[in-house]
Amino acid sequence: MHVEFSENVIKEFLEIGEKLLSGIAFHELYHNELINHSRLIIFWKNMNSTIMGCNKNFSDAMGANTPQLLVGKSDYQFCEKKDADLYRKNDLDVLSFSKEKINCIEPVTTKFGNFTLLTSKFPIYSKNKNEMGVLGISTDISEHKFLENSLMKINYPMIKNLVAVENLSCRNFSESICRFDEILKNIGTRSKKYIFLYEGKEITLSPRELQCIALLLKGKTVKKTAEMLNLSPRTIESHWVHIKSRFNCKNKNKIIEIILSDKWKW
């Protein structure tokens, strides 16, 4: 994933950073409309990677009530060490080579939640051309990363299964993958049977039948399902006869639609 920023935006943020690190821009920073109304996450650090200023989006992401509460603090004070180590390394790369570092993926783990940022960092210079610190501009790409990681788990046959569902739109594709993951996680963790509540009636499935459904969602054929479960194809077909009967469905696509919908619960 790649995000570009206009030169004018970067220039303005760098100018604010130069004033901020000179100790004369606090008022300007917190009354700057571009910063306060931007959807970007913006922060400035000194040569020691200490935060000297940020916008509300940054403080919100880090769990602070106001940007001022983060001034003078380091990443280690509100993020996990492994994450803070990465941020510090990226800061040092910018300062050591006096060159911007564009589109770095920076995971964030705090007590308020986990998310992923795509961050670009730029060196800040004084009017005398001396390095003063780092400007960071980030965007939250958590949803993009979730879909990217989820799509790595599925293959073309599974995508065909998902696309075949009439009521499944791109809008709820990620929600459907979550449902799929939920099914997989529940296999083997429950007792002898699974009870679905669907349209006011109970549908009882065995763990083996649920495995057949989960493997269908992953795009596995009857033959491949049989190999993976160490059963005969005839046994798998028998399970599917029972599954279709319980759901009162004639085809597997309809069962996929039900499983991926929000019309049922355990």
Cα 180 to chain centroid, rounded? 17
What lies within 8 Å, CB to CB, of 148 at 6+ separation is none
Q: Please state, as a whole number, how many other Cβ atoms lie within 10 Å of the Cβ of residue 127.
A: 8
Domain ranges of the chain: 7-140, 153-265
Of the candidates 150, 62, 60, 144, the one whose C-alpha atom is nearest the C-alpha of residue 110 is 62
Token pair 């639609």: residue: 257
List the chain pLDDT tens, one digit each, 266 residues: 555 666 777 887 888 788 777 776 566 666 566 677 778 899 999 999 999 988 889 999 998 998 889 999 999 998 999 999 999 999 999 999 999 999 999 999 888 778 899 999 999 998 888 999 999 999 988 877 766 666 555 555 555 555 555 555 444 555 665 665 665 566 554 455 667 777 777 888 888 888 888 788 777 889 999 998 899 999 999 999 999 988 888 888 777 777 766 666 55
Amino acid at 229: L
Rounded CA-CA distance 207/100 in Å is 54
Q: Which CATH number fits the domain 153-265, given the four candidates 1.10.10.10, 3.20.20.450, 3.40.50.720, 3.40.50.300?
A: 1.10.10.10
Cβ atoms of 241 and 229 closer than 8 Å: no
Burial class (CB in 10 A: 0-12, 13-18, 19+), 118: buried
Q: State the Cα–Cα distance between residues 246 and 182, nearest whole angstrom.
A: 21
pLDDT in tens, 231-246: 999 999 999 999 998 8
Residue 219 is predicted with a pLDDT of: 76
Phi, psi angle pair for 88, to nearest 5°: -65, -40
Judging by DSSP bridges, how do beta strands 131-140 and 201-205 pair with one another?
unpaired
Q: Do 194 and 205 contact (CB within 8 A), yes or no?
A: yes
Tell me which architecture the domain covering 7-140 has in CATH: 2-Layer Sandwich (3.30)
Question: Which has the closest alpha carbon to 260: 187, 152, 181, 143?
Answer: 181
Please tell me the distance from the alpha carbon of residue 206 to that of residue 193, in angstroms, as a whole number.
5
Contact, 136 vs 120, CB < 8 A?
A: yes
If DSSP states are collapsed to H, E and C, what string results for 5-40?
A: CCHHHHHHHHHHHHHHHCCCCHHHHHCCHHHHCCCC
End-to-end alpha carbon distance in the chain: 37
201: tokens are: 């009636």
pTM assigned to the model? 0.57
